[in-house]
Amino acid sequence: MQSISAVIYDLDGTLLDTEPLYVEVTSSILSRFGHTLPPEVRARMIGRPNLVSARILVDALGLPMTPEAFLDERESRLAELFPRAAAMPGARTLTMHLSKHHVPQAIATSSTRQGLDLKTTRHREWFASFAALVTREDIVNGKPAPDIFLHAAMLMGVAPDACLVFEDAPSGVDAALAAGMSVVAVPEPAYTSLVRHAHRVLPTLEAFDPREWGLPGFAA
């Protein structure tokens, strides 16, 4: 394995369990029009900037609303739900372990800065341990372009090929690979086949062994 000196994490579905909240609100909106959320459409939406994912949904289902109108309604409802977001299994343990060993870590999320703030309401102390918090608003091109990961690496002062990325979404895996970084995918079970091109695919962060990447082991 490539020897790693810094780690970058996606947020939604990787560190925080927010994906069920997105599904809940999106399904509620779609039900008004007699639609459900097709898994293949959701797979194309996950990890992308909000407006891009909204366009995919509206176009795929032929919804009688603009992507902007969909987002306005969705984001208003999500703002009430995000503060209850819980940590994904193993997320806090891994990140705090690496922080203890002074490994630089960053967040690279397609969320807005406001969305990031809402999602981390219950986790202020935890997220204060990251060296950089990069959002969609900090770069020009969102995932699957590599920009967000390259920007995070730059802020940490680390070369891209020395970074390890954790992602749950196909577009995020594509972005990290395009940035020249190593990638560990932790997808939802239904989407495992879509992230096989990552360097490693794990069921959860709990299955990650830092020593395989030259990072301090949990017994260290």
Catalytic residues: 10, 12
**Alpha-carbon span 45 to 74, nearest angstrom:** 14
Report how far apart, in Å, the C-alpha atoms of 78 and of each of 38, 134, 143, 151 are.
20, 20, 21, 27
**Tokens standing for residue 19:** 């994906």
Q: What single letter denotes the amino acid at residue 147?
A: D
Residues in the chain: 220
C-alpha–C-alpha distance, residues 188 and 185, integer Å:
10
Residues 6 or more apart whose Cβ sits within 8 Å of residue 156: 6, 104, 106, 131, 132, 163
What is the phi-psi region of residue 143: left when phi exceeds 0, alpha when psi lies from -120 to 50, beta otherwise? beta
Please say whether the beta carbons of 213 and 94 come within 8 A.
no
